[in-house]
Amino acid sequence: MEETPRPKVGDDDGISDRTMTVLIVLFTIITVCISIGSASANNDLKYRILLRQAMLDMDRMQYDMALVKLIEVRANTDDNANVNHMLGMCYLQSPESVEKAVFYFNLAAPFASPDYEEWDLDETTAPAEVVYYLASAYEQLEDYAKAAEYYGQFLASMNESNEHPNTSRTYAIISHKVETCKLATAEQSAELDYQSVVLNQ
């Protein structure tokens, strides 16, 4: 008894082998894209949850716990001035980590915005106060010239926003910090000049 040959794809259904191959490849590509999109959405959700937990940790002043979460968020998401600002705030709490705070504040400061929303998970700017904290970190490192510069920038932004008029107590305190840092810079410079003269004798 003779076997009847089995029809091949494309024999009677009007679809050629080439067309069927193209359809299979397209179907595979679409399936892969959907899988990648789904995985990406899951990752986004994971890091949004971590960011929210870090915000809550910071609110409870549990900066070490927040730091672990923020480092993971920063390593796995797009660069974000808000995350850099939060990392700076966490590092600023420890005298041994002030240099790291300066690093992250410097990344965040160019993106300072008066429209910053503190609890917004989609926030990508930094608060205007990041410039003040950067100045404070430089002051702790005894880089008084940089501290005076950034305190001055913060005062200028206060003037622009009219949030604290130049007659307010806050404005007076920061103005005093500017003058104190300028004096400290002059003293450091005089000390270096004196040491240079002594060494050259």
Banded model confidence at residue 44, pLDDT cuts 50, 70, 90 = confident
pLDDT for 39: 44
The CA radius of gyration of the chain, in Å to the nearest whole number, is 29
Higher pLDDT residue, 75 or 5?
75
**SS3 (DSSP) at 112:** strand
Task: State the average pLDDT over residues 15-21.
Answer: 68
Among candidates 120, 90, 118, which has minimal Cα distance to 105?
A: 90
CA dihedral 64, 84, 179, 170 (to 10 degrees): -80
What is the residue-averaged pLDDT of the chain?
A: 84
pLDDT of residue 20: 62
Instruction: Answer with the residue of higher pLDDT: 33 or 113.
Output: 113
The predicted pLDDT at position 85 comes to 97
d(CA 134, CA 70): 19
What are the DSSP calls for 5-44, one per residue? PPPPTTSSSS--HHHHHHHHHHHHHHHHHHHHHHHHHHHH
Q: Is a pLDDT exceeding 80 seen at residue 5?
A: no
Domain ranges of the chain: 17-77, 79-201
Does residue 162 surpass a pLDDT of 80? no
Q: What is the pLDDT of residue 40?
A: 47
CATH number attached to the domain at 79-201: 1.25.40
**pLDDT grade, residue 38 (50/70/90)?**
very low
Q: What percent of the chain has pLDDT over 70?
A: 80
